[in-house]
């Protein structure tokens, strides 16, 4: 039983082994079938590819019988596949052609290599590639690919003909030409023009390398030739050597061409020496222009197409603070330099109007306020010139200082005009006051103080003096009011007035800093007292709650630049500063403070003549005054007066009293009212009077009675013969004639000229009996 079981077990294992072998066989068969299917599919694809190929394809056995042929080849034979397979070329084509084909077939088999040949059949050209066919290591036949190259061959033929034509042109054309081997640098050929240009014969040139002519290092020349060969660059500038040793600038145009079945560089050479010389001259001029631009006292900006800033010189940075790179276009420039939007719109609108119809070379000038990089404000004159369409040159000049000077000059001219008007009004008003004061003075001298009208007349006299004080301020503003000029220590006047002021203004603290050993100044002391009192009062009024005033003096030098806008001479000046800690002023108020009758106070608190009088008096003394102020930061008035070398004189002012006298006086005045009252006043003082209404009448009287006339009192401003001419004529008659000028104007200008000629004294209208009597006694003594 056990043996039977074992035998059965072995049988089962054998069956299992048979099953596994069967599966392996089935798997092997499936793989083989799959490979056969794949091979069949590959053969089908290869057959499709061979048949769609436009070139001829065939395969022959060792007897040169066709075993395979594609559709293109069948079309050439005009046969079907059955009519070709198994046959040789002898059966299919002329014997001569068939023999040539079999010869090259045999060559490929014998030499076991690819054989390439070109043949012409009729009017067609064919290129044939033949190679042996192997079955493992055994040659079993030959295969071939035949390509129709007729178009290519015709092109080559045309190219050769073209080259021949090219060579003829190459030789005969007047341009300098070289043919160069890019690999070696050898000169393959040169034309007659090249021989003439370089000075070597064509044969000599053909023995040379381009490196012997080109003055660049060999490596750089090779780099240029490679670039030309690849078409990366066609134009080059070199320096070429000639046979005579000279070197010239050339421009070389190089192209790769096929020449004699070889790629070469065809180069045309132009002599650009004159052009380079011209360019160098232009470059030098540009350098000069650049130097001029960089040294120019104004900024220069070149704006190109697209609103781009192409160039800005050093002055641009100096004026505006911006480097040219920080402002790349016009929009950025406008935005940074004109940050206020509305003002920027005004600027843009103005420039658009300027350039709307502007022609090249036409210049347009505008002045704008500019904000610089550091925030400072400057006044800039922009002169814009159209260079070309869309290109502009903008010249920017900083005229901030010039504008300031112009404003000062304009202000000075305006004040001059107002002063002339004020002086004329004061003159006429003084003549009116003269008539009133004269008669009041006479009446007061003739009645007893106990008379009921005496007090009223005295009041009238005081009002006349107030009126005269007002006209004196007007004359001071008109710079027509220096009466008694003497060398003075200005510290003494400031000290005297500041002490007097301090007694009545206890809430004000005065700080003094006087320079020691100051030079003297030639001033009318009374007027200077008025100047400093007016300025102290002005400072006090700016500090309603009290404050401090700083008084300082010093000696300074004024140069030509500082002197120019004030129309004064350069030299040594005495500087006086009055600073308060008050409310300060804005620019609008500051620009008008020296105008007569301008005031920021209530109507009943001032006449508006205080500062205008200060201005006029200082100008009348050949000095000038500056003011600096900011709202909430107080004010500083700075006065500059010319220093003098004269010794300081003591201040001695006489007390005026009525002193009667005797003698004869010639009185000259064109104003009838003044003439009448002055005549009455002189007669009341005991003098004999001859009255004359004009200069000619005075001359006539003086000619006749000059021996008895002791003094001439003469108006300065008269119609017809002026006071100056009248004075000259009086001196012609009597050299030592004593003349007293009398005028509604003060001692200045024309009056000073007359005084300088030997005039004895001056009477400022209006004057009373005391002043008149005192002046006559002073002259007659």
- Backbone dihedral angles phi then psi of residue 219, each to the nearest 5 degrees: -60, -40
Lowest mean pLDDT among 91-95, 116-120, 445-449, 609-613: 609-613
d(Cα 739, Cα 697) in Å, to the nearest integer?
Answer: 16
Q: pLDDT for 382-418, tens place per residue?
A: 888 887 766 778 888 888 887 877 776 666 656 566 6
Q: Give per-residue pLDDT as tens, 312-339.
A: 777 888 888 887 677 777 788 788 888 8
| Edge-first strand listing for the sheet containing 761-764 | 688-692, 664-668, 711-715, 739-743, 761-764
Q: What is the pLDDT of residue 26?
A: 67
Distance CA 679, CA 556 (A): 51
CA 743 to chain CA centroid, nearest Å: 56
Cα–Cα dist 386/364, whole Å: 9
Q: Are strands 571-580 and 635-642 parallel, antiparallel or unpaired?
A: antiparallel
User: Does pLDDT of 686 surpass 80?
Assistant: yes
User: Which candidate, 173, 228, 218, places its Cα nearest to that of 196?
Assistant: 173
Per-residue model confidence (pLDDT) at position 713: 92
Closest by CA to 655, choosing from 747, 761, 485, 771, is 771
Closest CA to 736 of 763, 714, 707: 707
- Among the residues of 321-399, which ranges form H helices? 330-337, 341-355
Look at residue 136 and give its three-state secondary structure. Answer: coil
In the predicted model, what is the mean pLDDT of residues 176-186?
A: 91
pLDDT at 605 over 50: no
In this predicted structure, the answer to whether residue 604 has a pLDDT above a threshold of 50 is no
pLDDT at 124 over 50: yes
Q: Are 432 and 440 in contact (CB under 8 A)?
A: no
The residue length of the chain stands at 781
User: Do the beta carbons of residue 660 and residue 681 sit within 8 Å?
Assistant: no
- Does 541 have pLDDT greater than 60? yes
What is residue 305's predicted lDDT score, i.e. its pLDDT? 72
Q: Would you give the DSSP letter of residue 710?
A: -
Using DSSP, state whether 608 is helix, strand or coil.
coil
**What is the phi/psi pair of residue 462, to 5°?**
-65, -40
What is the band of 466 on the pLDDT scale with cuts at 50, 70, 90? low
Give the closest residue to 185 by CA, choosing from 200, 158, 207, 157.
207
Task: Name the band, by pLDDT with cuts 50, 70 and 90, for residue 641.
Answer: very high
Examine the pLDDT at 736 and tell me if it is beyond 60: yes
Q: Which is more confidently placed, 249 or 13?
A: 249
Name the nearest CA neighbour of 760 among 711, 703, 721, 722: 711
Query: For residue range 745-769, what is the model confidence (pLDDT) as tens digits?
Result: 766 666 777 887 888 888 878 888 8
Closest CA to 661 of 622, 710, 697, 696: 710
- pLDDT value of residue 482: 45
With CA atoms as reference, report the closest residue to 701 among 666, 669, 732, 735: 666
Residue ranges of E strands in 372-417 = 377-388, 391-398
Given a cut of 50, is residue 663 above it in pLDDT?
Answer: yes
Which of 372, 459, 404 has its CA nearest to residue 591? 404
pLDDT band at 208 (very low <50, low <70, confident <90, very high): very high
**pLDDT at site 361:** 73
**How many degrees, rounded to 5, is the angle at CA 88 between CA 87 and CA 94?**
120
CB crowding 250-281: b at 16 or more within 10 Å, else e: bebebebeebeeeebbbbbbbebeeebeeeee
Mean pLDDT confidence for 646-667 = 74
Q: Is 180 helix (H, G, I), strand (E, B) or coil?
A: strand
Predicted pLDDT at 595: 74
The helix or strand, by DSSP H or E, that contains position 638, with its residue range, turns out to be strand 635-642
Is the CB of residue 761 less than 8 Å from the CB of residue 778?
yes
To the nearest whole number, what is the mean pLDDT of the chain?
81
Pair type for strands 521-524 and 485-488: antiparallel
Instruction: Name the percent of the chain in helix, strand, coil, to the closest 5.
Output: 50, 25, 25
Alpha helices in 447-489 (DSSP H): 454-477
Reported as a pLDDT band with limits 50, 70 and 90, residue 597 is low
pLDDT mean over 237-256: 92
On the question of pLDDT at 166 being above 90, the answer is: no
Q: Helix, strand, or coil here: 686? A: coil
């Amino acid at each position: 039983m056990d043996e039977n079981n074992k035998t059965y077990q072995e049988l089962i294992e054998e069956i299992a082994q048979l099953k596994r072998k069967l599966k392996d066989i089935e798997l092997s068969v499936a793989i083989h079938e799959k490979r056969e299917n794949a091979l069949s599919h590959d053969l089908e694809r290869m057959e499709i590819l061979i048949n769609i190929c436009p070139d001829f394809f065939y395969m022959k056995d060792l007897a040169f019988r066709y075993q395979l042929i594609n559709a293109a080849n069948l079309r050439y034979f005009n046969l079907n596949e059955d009519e070709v397979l198994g046959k040789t070329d002898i059966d299919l084509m002329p014997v001569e052609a068939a023999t040539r084909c079999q010869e090259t077939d045999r060559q490929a088999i014998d030499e076991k290599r690819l054989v390439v040949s070109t043949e012409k059949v009729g009017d067609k050209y064919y290129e044939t590639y033949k190679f042996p066919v192997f079955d493992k290591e055994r040659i079993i036949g030959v295969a071939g690919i035949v390509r129709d190259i007729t178009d290519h061959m015709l092109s080559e033929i045309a190219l050769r003909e073209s080259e021949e034509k090219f060579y003829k042109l190459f030789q005969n054309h007047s341009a300098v030409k070289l043919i160069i081997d890019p690999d070696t640098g050898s000169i393959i050929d040169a034309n007659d023009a090249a021989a003439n240009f370089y000075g070597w014969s064509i044969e000599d040139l053909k023995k040379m390398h381009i490196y012997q002519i080109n003055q660049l290092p060999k490596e750089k020349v090779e780099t240029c030739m490679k670039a030309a060969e690849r078409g990366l660059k066609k134009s080059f500038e070199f320096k070429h050597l000639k046979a005579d040793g000279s070197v010239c600038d050339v421009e070389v145009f190089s192209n790769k061409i096929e020449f004699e079945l070889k790629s070469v560089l065809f180069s045309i050479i132009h002599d650009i020496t004159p052009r380079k010389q011209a360019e160098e001259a232009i470059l030098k001029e540009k350098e000069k222009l650049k130097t001029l631009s960089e040294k120019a006292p104004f900024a220069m900006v070149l704006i190109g197409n697209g609103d781009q800033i192409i160039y800005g010189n050093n002055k641009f940075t100096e004026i505006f603070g911006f480097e040219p790179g920080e402002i790349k276009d016009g929009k950025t420039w406008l935005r940074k330099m004109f940050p206020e939007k509305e003002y920027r719109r005004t600027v843009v609108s103005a420039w658009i109007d300027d350039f709307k119809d502007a022609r090249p070379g036409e210049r347009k000038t505008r002045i704008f306020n500019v904000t610089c990089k550091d925030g400072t404000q400057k006044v800039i004159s922009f002169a814009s010139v159209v260079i070309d369409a869309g290109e502009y040159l903008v010249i920017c000049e900083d005229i901030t200082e010039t504008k300031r000077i112009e404003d000062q000059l304009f202000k000075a001219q305006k004040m001059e005009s107002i002063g002339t008007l004020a002086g004329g009004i004061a003159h006429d008003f003084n003549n009116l006051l003269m008539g009133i004061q004269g008669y009041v003075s006479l009446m007061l001298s003739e009645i007893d103080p106990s008379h009921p009208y005496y007090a009223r007349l005295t009041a009238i006299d005081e009002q006349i003096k107030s009126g005269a004080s007002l006209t004196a301020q007007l004359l001071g503003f008109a710079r027509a009011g220096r009466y008694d000029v003497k060398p003075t220590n200005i510290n003494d006047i400031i000290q005297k007035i500041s002490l007097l002021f301090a007694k009545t203004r206890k809430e004000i603290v005065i700080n003094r800093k006087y320079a020691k050993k100051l030079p003297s100044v030639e001033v009318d002391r009374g007027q200077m007292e008025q100047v400093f009192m007016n300025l102290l009062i002005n400072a006090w009024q700016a500090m309603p709650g009290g404050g401090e005033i700083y008084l300082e003096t010093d000696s300074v030098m004024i140069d030509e630049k500082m002197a120019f806008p004030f129309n004064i001479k350069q030299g040594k000046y005495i500087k006086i500063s009055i600073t308060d800690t008050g409310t300060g002023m804005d620019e609008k108020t500051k620009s008008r403070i020296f105008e007569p009758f301008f005031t920021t106070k209530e109507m009943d608190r001032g006449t508006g003549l205080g500062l205008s009088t200060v201005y006029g008096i200082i100008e009348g003394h050949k000095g000038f005054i500056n003011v600096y102020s900011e709202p909430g930061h107080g004010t500083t008035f700075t006065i500059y007066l010319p220093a003098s070398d004269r010794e300081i004189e003591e201040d001695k002012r006489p007390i005026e009293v009525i002193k009667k006298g005797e003698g004869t006086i010639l009185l000259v005045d064109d104003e009838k009212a003044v003439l009448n009252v002055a005549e009455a006043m002189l007669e009341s003082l005991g003098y004999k009077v001859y009255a004359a209404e004009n200069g000619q009448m005075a001359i006539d009287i003086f000619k006749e009675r000059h021996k008895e006339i002791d003094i001439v009192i003469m108006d300065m401003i008269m119609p017809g013969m002026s006071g100056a001419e009248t004075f000259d004529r009086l001196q012609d008659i009597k050299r030592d004639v004593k003349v007293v000028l009398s005028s509604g104007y003060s001692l200045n200008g024309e009056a000073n000229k007359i005084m300088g000629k030997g005039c004895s004294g001056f009477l400022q209208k209006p004057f009373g009996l005391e002043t008149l009597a005192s002046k006559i006694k002073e002259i007659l003594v």
